[in-house]
Amino acid sequence: MSAVEIPIGDASFVGRFLRYVDPVSGEWTGYRDDDGYGIFTWPGPAGERVKFRAHRVAWAIAHQAQPTGVIRHGCDHPPCCRPGCLKDGTQADNIADRDDPRRRHARRAAAIAAAGQQVLSLAFGP
Ligand SMILES: [Zn+2]
């Protein structure tokens, strides 16, 4: 990623960015990296291709500010660009969040529910 400022004052940047955000789910519909994060490419000050992480851009547009730390997903869904899901924090917060037993429990419960659905559809059809 780059240290280039996110050009939140550029209407063509913001307009193009928003075209890649699903208006219903808030998900990034453009290119995603191997970790599932949306990537938005835009020319930098020297005309070079700058890659921005989409959720950082979403946070910056929503807050009209440059993010100072790690932008975290409250929803644990990397392609999500909903401003309400995004929090500015530090890497330490990020790790604390991940290790929070309530969140671990929630993820485990979701995995069990998904596995349960699969078992049910095998037993009773889709
Ligand atoms: Zn979200």
**Cα 10 to Cα 106: distance, rounded to the nearest angstrom:** 39
pLDDT at 125: 62
More confident residue, 113 or 7: 7
Could you tell me the distance, in angstroms and rounded to a whole number, from the CA of residue 58 to the centre of ligand 1? 11
Could you tell me the distance, in angstroms and rounded to a whole number, from the CA of residue 42 to the centre of ligand 1? 23
**Model-wide pTM > 0.85:** no
Could you tell me the distance, in angstroms and rounded to a whole number, from the CA of residue 46 to the centre of ligand 1? 33
- How far, in Å, are 48, 110, 126 from residue 82 at the CA level? 28, 21, 31
* Averaged pLDDT for residues 49-56: 96
Outline where the chain has alpha helix (H).
11-18, 54-63, 91-99, 101-124
b or e along 70-97 (b: 16 or more beta carbons within 10 Å of the residue's beta carbon)?
A: ebbbeeeebbbbbeebbebbeeeebeee
pLDDT tens-digit readout, 72-113: 999 999 999 999 999 988 766 767 777 788 887 777 777 777
- Give whichever of 7-11, 54-58, 59-63, 65-69 has the largest mean pLDDT: 54-58
